[in-house]
Structure 1
Amino acid sequence: MFDQPNSTIWHRDVPRLDASIVTLGAFDGVHSGHQALISGAVSRARASGVPSVVCTFDPPPKVFFGRAAQLCPLAEKLARISALAPDHVVVFSFDETLRSMTPAAFMARLSRLSPQEIRVGGDFRFGAKQAGDVDLLATRFPVRIEPPVCCTAGEVVSSTRIRGLLEQGRHAAAEALLRPGLGGGLAA
């Protein structure tokens, strides 16, 4: 466990829980789409009377493989996630061990959370060589696929898009997508 600034409990390994609502993702930057996914899981957990759990990766897989620059350091990511008030945050160390873990082994770790529901984006992948997908996850757990969040200009908010805006020098547009809400109304 980590030290935490509020009531969120941070873990480096999956705790054993009797029940939970879980959301999974790299959450690089914790942009407005991530915020909607996490907030939805927290709300559902509160309504169900069970703990909410956010599972994320450090570093994000795309960063580990050298396919992308990291949008924010772990401390900032944890602060942004904690501001959304989940009960638990699990930070998986994305290393060679996790990278080579089979989808079945990853799902076995998740089962320690006793998820009543797992909320993910439709493109969520897991396990060695990204062999696991949302359909496989749904064979073991109740899964809810959250639709993508769009900014007011109608474009999907994503970490890839934010990186592109930063590369173009469009920092204000990128920052708008990282703020709570739906991208601040910018046609980014």
Structure 2
Amino acid sequence: MVQTFHGQSLTLPQSIITIGAFDGVHKGHQSVITHVVHESRKRGIPSVVYTFDPPPRAYFKGAKILTTLDEKLERIESLGVDYAVIASFNKKYLKQSSSQFINTLMSFHPEEIFVGNDFRFGNGREGNVETLRHFFKVNTLKPVCCEQGTVISSTRIRKLIEQGKNFEASNLLGLHLQL
């Protein structure tokens, strides 16, 4: 069972971490999280998903949220994650510098961090993947594509839902519709 920490500090002697909004925990997210869980088990250390509530795109742009926090945590748990850290994405969080965020990550003592290649953090998005690499071993995974070769993303899934293409959206989310 995943242990969840809401904005509280978590200290671990070692870990493998992935960081992201994970809105919908779609097939692309599932691939990344499954990889992190596999790596953590192979090394005998805990896996951590560091995520945000609400997702940044919902906070900044009012984007429709694909899963409630409870649904997101259920899906993360189903993938075998040991710890989920939920950062409250609000005005206070946005004022955090990139060095403050790095200090938070240091408390998890990550052996490796997995993020998207466009990952940004800190006040004004001042930190990026290269900033993280000054402090940690960072691995960026290629985006996951569907069978047609198109990248699976929360934005794409939202568009499919808006277009009434619920079956396609559900497929990308990894959900099985009851017909």
Which TM class, normalised by the smaller chain length? over 0.9
Q: Residues 75-129 of structure 1, C-alpha deviation per residue, up to 9 Å, x if partnerless?
A: 1011011100111000111111111111111011110000000011112111112
| Aligned partners of 1:58 and 1:74 also within 8 Å | yes
Tell me whether 1:61 sits opposite 2:64 in the alignment: no
Specify the alignment match of 1:89 in structure 2: 84
Query: 2:104 pairs with 104, 109, 112, which one?
Result: 109
Contact 1:14–1:113 (Cα < 8 Å) also in 2: no
Deviation at 1:137, TM superposition (A): 1.0
Q: Which runs of 4+ in 1 moved over 2 A?
A: none
CA distance in 2, matches of 1:28, 1:86: 16
Work out the CA distance in 2 between the residues paired with 1:72 and 1:128: 26
Matched, 1:19 2:1: no
Q: Where do 5+ consecutive residues of structure 1 fail to align?
A: 1-6, 181-188
**Equivalent pairs: percent with the same residue?**
45
Per-residue deviation, 1:56: 0.3
What corresponds to 1:9 in structure 2? 3
Deviation at 1:147, TM superposition (A): 0.6
Q: What is the deviation of 1:28?
A: 0.3
Query: What pairs with 1:1-188 in structure 2 (closer than 5 Å)?
Result: 7-12=1-6, 13-179=8-174
The TM-score, its normalising length taken from structure 1, stands at 0.90
TM-score by length of 2: 0.94
CA distance in 1, matches of 2:25, 2:89: 17
Q: In the TM superposition, what whole-angstrom CA distance separates every residue of 1:33-78 from its partner, at most 9, and x where no partner exists?
A: 0001101000000001110001000000111113411111111011
**Most deviating of 132-141 and 53-62:** 132-141
RMSD value, Cα? 1.0
Local SS of the residue matching 1:119: strand
